Amino acid sequence: MKKIGVLALQGAFNEHIEIIKSLGHEGIEIRKAEQLNNLDGIILPGGESTAMGKLLDDFQIKETLVNKINNGLPVWGTCAGMILLAKELDGGENAHLKVMDIKVKRNAYGSQLDSFVTNEVIEDISENEIPMVFIRAPYIVDIDEKVDLLHKIDGNIVAARQGNMLATSFHPELTNDTTFHEYFINMS
């Protein structure tokens, strides 16, 4: 049984915890820096990245989290969580944790395609189609060669991995498909 933390300052953390538990692992809500010790992995959920970034500062978690990730703690950012991981944000906004060599565009789909669902195969993850839920989603506009591209939709990168860091534009926790959670738990 693994101990997977979910940053629980804001956003869709409950859904991740439920899936982790349903897979037989321990899901822990993280609100304090001390709780980052002895985790096998941490998920940064969807929500509002600007608010979450500010709360990371207010709750004094940011520095410890960055150190843990840089020392190899497996981390998975979904949607707003992916924005938190990026070293750079498109449009010159300040980045947050600055740990992953990706450049991310927030609210990249604009108002027309604000939210949508699609089913596609991601070869490195599973041979079966995975449902992908996008909600005011970001995508990756640029990646360093250190980063493995996992999936593109219409030419835009929506999933990537760099060693211990996984980022998805979409929300596997809002579907009943557990493939992505199993993949992440196996990274830890």
Task: Enumerate the active-site residues.
Answer: 79, 171, 173
Q: Which residue has the tokens 């999933």?
A: 159
Give the chain's largest Cα–Cα span.
43
Among 60, 67, 70, 107, binds ligand GLN (CB under 6 A): 107
Our finding on whether 80 is near ligand GLN (CB under 6 A) is yes
Of the candidates 55, 63, 58, the one whose C-alpha atom is nearest the C-alpha of residue 81 is 55
Per-residue x/- track, 34-73, ligand GLN (CB under 6 A): ------------xxxx------------------------
Nearer to ligand GLN by Cβ, of 67 and 107: the residue is 107
DSSP state of 7: E
Dump strand ranges (E) for the chain: 3-7, 26-30, 41-44, 75-78, 86-89, 100-105, 115-121, 129-135, 139-143, 148-153, 156-162, 165-168
Our finding on whether 83 is near ligand GLN (CB under 6 A) is yes
Per-residue x/- track, 120-159, ligand GLN (CB under 6 A): ---------------xx-----------------------
